[in-house]
Structure 1
Amino acid sequence: MRDFQLPGRSPLLAQNAICATSHPLAAKTAIDILQAGGNAVDAAIAGAVLLGFAEPQSCGIGGDCFALVKPAGEERILALNGSGRAPAGFSAEALREVGATTIGTESVHSATLPGAIDAFCHLSKDLGRLALAECLAPAIRYAEDGIPVAPRVAFDWPENGARLTGAARRFYMNADRPLRTGDIFRAPEQAEVLRRIAAEGRAGFYEGEVAEDMVRSLRAAGGSHTLDDFAAVACDWVDPIQGDYRSHALFEHPPNGQGATAILMLKILAELDLESLDPLGPERAHLEIEAAKLSYDARDRFIADPAHVTRLDHMLADDTARRLAALISPDRVLPDARAASEAVHRDTIYLAVVDRDGMAVSMIYSTYWGFGSGIASDRFGVLFQNRGAGFTLEPGHPNEAGPGKRPMHTIIPAMLCRAGALVMPFGVMGGAYQPAGHAHVVSNLLDFGMDPQEALDAPRCFPDAGAVRLERGYPEATRARLAALGHRVETPNKPLGGGQAILIDHDRGVLWGASDPRKDGCALGY
């Protein structure tokens, strides 16, 4: 139990339903949808689309989403891949010929096709209870009337807003200045886009005037995108992957998501004696850092478009984890194994919903970097993601950029199960940090007996570009010992990600909702 004399937050306990996400208005909207007769899928769609206006730097209709869904009345877990592909005219060779070695994060070539709207439409049709128009109505209203900018969103806006170019500055800046806490952000043009989707389904976005606006704007910036590319966007129902840890099963999305990295990292940690360690001590932090280096090296070698992944079984094998764990010494620092070179403050939203019938949704939705590619469509202000920056230009690599391919993707929803029953949908935001965040939260729960709120609150560390990012919540003695071991310890200028979780107490019929204090959100229920 936490010390009630110190700053902190209790988990939310409710019996019927909970939504946990990174903005209170989105959580309330999801609960409103549930109480109006919708199910967890309806609530997740409503909350997620609204977050595109509550946190416009983090997500939006020009981005991607992934979802794990446990239907009511069964324990089967379904996975929906709502990530977009590179346009058919994309050429890695053409970029190499002009001297490019990577795909720039502000380049139009990083703008893969937006997959989220197609995924939302299919989720609604396949598993929702309400009409899609009912789920989109709250977001349409807020986009039209506006949402006051929350403190964490305002904290991110100056740095992220500097990446905006052209028409995007008109839609996402206030007279060319970042919006501040309490300023009202409105997006009436996107409200019109959502009205068309509500009336016409996916055709209201991927065809007609909205698609024409997006294609015209991307081509003006030098992209190869076509109307045929947009019309061909399609999400996929796929089978989740899983790995065991402390008598629990962690379910993740398969590639092109990086969920296998979280499974591998936990398998490595299972070979080490974490339970006997201080959860905030240097010994545990060191083992997590070293396990992350090895897991992310595997990620960067193997994870790619599903059609191009050849060694997933090897990455998930218990023997692979045992051999990697044997490389970790308690008193020696591994050199960076070509891992974790990506900055850790990528912008994303996550939300979890469990409804009174037992349906659960774990959903993550993003435009990748803050304000995505920084490029928006001229008429409707649809901001394009920069997921194409997740490709490599290395010839022959499984994740080499190519026409119609999906890039290695950082956003990963998760579900934790025990004895065949779901016990917790959860997710951790933060770009590359996400698999390490999943492993850290699961370890907090299962190794150290934390409740879900404590597990999210606890300080985090992550190896990045030769340094170790150590949040301020660690004791000074931990920082000093890690430095003495040879880690180059740095305090990040932003917290490591965010996160939400809903723990299902089957024995007592109670839900425990938790929302990360690193963001503006909360868990709400009834």
Structure 2
Amino acid sequence: MNFSFDAMSYPYASRRSVVYGRRGMVATANPLAAQAGLEILKQGGNAIDAMIATAAALTVVEPTANGIGSDAFALVWVKDKLYGLNASGPAPAAMTLEALQSRGFKEMPVLGMLPVTVPGTPAGWAALSKRFGRLPLSQVVEPAARYAEEGYVLQPAVGSGWPRNLAKFSKAIETDKSVQGWFDTFLPGGKCLGPGDVLVLKDHAATLREIGATNAESFYRGALADKIDAYFRQFDSFLRKEDLAAYQPQWVEPISVNYKGYDVCEIPPNGHGISTLMALNILKELDLGPVDSFRSTHLQLEAMKLAFADARRYVADPDYMTVPVERLLSDEYAAQRRACIGDRARLPEPGDPIRGGTVYMCAADGEGNMISYIQSNYMGFGSGVVVPGTGIAMQNRGNNFSMDPESDNCVAPGKRPYHTIIPGFLCKDGKPVGPFGVMGGFMQPQGHLQVVLNTVEYGMNPQAALDHPRWQWVGGNTIEVEQSFPNDLAQALQRAGHDIVVKADPIGFGRGEIIWRNDEGVLCGASEPRSDGQVAVW
């Protein structure tokens, strides 16, 4: 691929430009984490080593979005092949529908220990390091451990997350003392932190070093597993060391659709990257018209709504899905769903496929290796559970299970929940173009769709593709848009039945990064203007 976009064309408000490099590049939403990855590249590591270093650092410097107790997914390009890694964890053996019902729950709990599934991130780091890394894992996590041990300064977007999380966990602790660890860890001296404050996480540093020294064995079958087990037993919750010991991440075959000559690649379910692919499949036979036109935006919205409706109905742990991925991505089913789109907004309903659907980072090196990686505790800090003496902040991914016995995604022991975090990767003619991603819960596939169309359909450079004003479907016919979204377009969509809500805070519209590589090996990177993002280049 050669860069065909105008690198100096910035039609949207931004203080950023694309970044070029050749020897290596790391892009993520936090400059400290990006620098950790660049440090490992300069120590002789490859893109995969750099990505693990960045991911480990993000558990330290961006705890508002992820932690050591996260889940993760990756798409890795090495030696002319794209590999997928699913490092999301299953429900513990004791997490049954009946057990939750017996505790009075009719919907999955949100905070505390009960929604915690087996964390996959440490095992994911170890698996990536073992298969593709060049440096020892202990060396790769050291920059992150150093940040934690010596203390680091909270960046603006990260620091702004403390007050709202303090309010949330202050309410939760009234009935659930298992979230006390959040206060002990993230409110030093009882102070609510903010941008520019310094946070020291010595327990976190020791845990990172133990994970590095044992290639994550301690977390799943050693001393760290014992500490996790003891804390969950203290509160009579589900997770046990036997659940941790049984866990292994899975190498998976990426799924893709071809859109205008580009292969758009995602991780297969239990993630919902398939919803981006279903929407692209619906759109690929349509004339979208100019960028920011009513036709283009309306068609994108309706296609995304249909894809989401299918994903919420059919996507689950693949061992439990009643509809195969191949059917959801078939041209026949795309045509069936395409026929549902009219000139006005409509409430989406799942189709019938049987008849006839966080922190992100990417890195690249001078050898051609590239990686798209994402990890998350789900809702901000996650469950609020921090295992004492370890700094391990646990996700609350079990909240994405259903408690409907008829659902493919109904909670069950050993089953992985519907997952919102998705890395993306673009290829053309069997060659890598590069990794991309937009983090942010259910915004992620919508962000993927908008970024792909901005670059492939409309020829924007990576930074312009991220700067472009975003929309987000949030349910019914309600569409949230950024303040920079064109007013005349918003009014046209409103007349067509879309309920347009202008949001003052851009944080809900996702945070993304992109790295493209051309045929000469030149790297072109972009970072998110809605966050503290940085492209670190060598």
Band of TM-score, shorter chain: over 0.9
SS in 2 for 1:425: strand
Alignment match of 2:99 (pick from 91, 94, 100): 94
2:332 maps to which of 305, 316, 319: 319
Deviation at 1:471, TM superposition (A): 1.1
Contact 1:42–1:135 (CA under 8 A) maintained in structure 2: yes
1:406-421 residue pairs with structure 2 within 5 A?
Answer: 406-421=416-431
Q: Does 1:474 align with 2:485?
A: yes
Q: In 1, are the aligned partners of 2:440 and 2:508 still within 8 Å (CA)?
A: no
CA shift for structure 1 position 38: 0.5
After superposition, what is the alpha-carbon deviation per residue over 1:200-228, rounded to whole angstroms, capped at 9, x for unaligned?
22222223332222122223333122111
User: Does 2:502 align with 1:491?
Assistant: yes
> After alignment, is 460-469 or 197-206 more displaced?
197-206
1:356 alignment partner, one of 353, 366, 377: 366
CA distance 1:3–1:521, change in 2 (3 Å): closer
- Residues in 2 aligned to 1:133 and 1:18: alpha-carbon distance in whole angstroms: 22
Residue number in structure 2 paired with 1:17:
24
User: In the aligned structure 1, how far is the partner of 2:245 from the partner of 2:328?
Assistant: 35
Please say if 1:285 is aligned against 2:297: yes
Secondary structure of the equivalent of 1:428? strand
Partner SS, residue 387 of structure 2 = coil
Please state how far the C-alpha of 1:5 moved relative to its aligned partner: 11
Structure 2 residue 54 is matched with structure 1 residue 47: yes
Q: Using the alignment, how far apart are the partners of 1:121 and 1:509 within structure 2?
A: 28
2:488 and 2:233 map into 1 onto residues whose CA distance is 54
Deviation at 1:489, TM superposition (A): 1.1
Q: Tell me which residue corresponds to 1:513.
A: 525
Q: Name the structure 2 match of 1:154.
A: 159
Output the amino acid matched with 2:205.
A
Which segments of 5 or more consecutive residues in structure 1 lack a partner in the other structure?
340-347
Q: Distance in 2 between matches of 1:91 and 1:100?
A: 12
Q: Secondary structure at the match of 1:206?
A: helix
Match for residue 435 of structure 2?
A: 425
Give TM-score, length-normalised by structure 2: 0.92
1:399 has 2:406 as partner:
no
1:500 paired with 2:486, answer no
Superposition map of 1:179-258 within 5 A: 179-258=193-272
Q: Is the 8 A contact 1:217 1:376 kept in 2?
A: no
Matched, 1:379 2:393: no
The residue aligned with 2:176 is none
**Matching residue within 305, 313, 320 for 1:301:** 313
Change beyond 3 A, Cα 1:337–1:221: farther
2:4 aligns to what? none
In structure 2, how many angstroms separate the alpha carbons of the residues matched to 1:300 and 1:97? 26
Distance between the aligned counterparts of 2:454 and 2:135, measured in 1? 37
Alpha-carbon RMSD across the aligned residues, in angstroms, is 1.7
Query: Hey, which bits of structure 1, 4+ residues long, moved more than 4 A?
Result: 3-6
Match of 2:109 among 104, 110, 116: 104
- 1:343 aligns with none
Q: Secondary structure at the match of 1:499?
A: strand
- SS of the aligned residue for 2:168 comes to coil
Q: d(CA) in 2 for partners of 1:448 and 1:211?
A: 49
Give the match's secondary structure for 1:523: strand
| Unaligned stretches of 5+ residues in structure 2 | 1-7, 170-178, 352-357
Query: Is residue 304–residue 406 contact of structure 1 (8 Å, CA) maintained in 2?
Result: yes
Question: In structure 2, what is the equivalent of residue 310 of structure 1?
Answer: 322
Pick which of 384-393 and 178-187 moved more: 178-187
C-alpha separation between the residues in 2 aligned to 1:272 and 1:159? 42
CA distance in 1, matches of 2:244, 2:99: 22
Which residue of the partner structure matches residue 129 of structure 1?
134
User: 1:118-158 CA deviation, whole Å, 9 max, x = no partner?
Assistant: 11011111110001111011011001011111101122222
Q: What does the per-residue CA deviation read over 1:207-256, in whole Å, with 9 as the maximum and x for residues that have no partner?
A: 33322221222233331221111111210111111111011101110111
Larger mean CA deviation between 487-496 and 388-397 belongs to 487-496
| 1:16–1:355 contact (8 Å) kept in structure 2 | yes
- Asked if the contact 1:106/1:163 (under 8 Å) is kept, the reply is no
Range with greater deviation from structure 2 (316-325 or 487-496): 487-496
Q: Distance in 1 between matches of 2:458 and 2:283?
A: 14
Contact 1:87 1:112 in 2 (8 A): yes
Partners of 2:496 and 2:12 lie apart in 1 by: 34
Structure 2: distance between partners of 1:336 and 1:450: 30
Q: 1:445 to 1:5 in 2, by over 3 A?
A: closer
Identity %: 38
- Comparing 370-379 and 140-149, the one that deviates more: 370-379
**Whole-angstrom distance in 2 between the partners of 1:308 and 1:221:** 30
Instruction: Tell me by how many angstroms 1:336 deviates.
Output: 4.1
How far apart in 2 are the matches of 1:439 and 1:136? Answer: 33
Alignment of 1:268-279 (within 5 A): 268-274=282-288, 276-277=289-290, 279=291
In the aligned structure 1, how far is the partner of 2:235 from the partner of 2:259?
47
Q: Which residue of 2 aligns with 1:264?
A: 278
Distance 1:98 1:387 in 2: 19
- Residue 190 of structure 2 corresponds to residue 170 of structure 1: no
Contact preservation (8 Å) 1:193, 1:204: no
The counterpart of 2:377, out of the listed 367, 376, 379, is 367
Mapped to 1, the partners of 2:80 and 2:245 lie a distance apart of: 34
Deviates more, 1:203-212 or 1:387-396: 203-212
Whole-angstrom distance in 2 between the partners of 1:314 and 1:390:
23
Structure 1's 176 and 320: CA in aligned 2 closer, same or farther, altered over 3 A?
A: farther
One-letter code aligned to 1:324? R
1:62 and 2:77 matched: no
SS in 2 for 1:306: coil
TM-score normalised by the chain length of structure 1: 0.94
Task: Give the count of matched residue pairs.
Answer: 512
Q: 1:481 to 1:178 in 2, by over 3 A?
A: farther
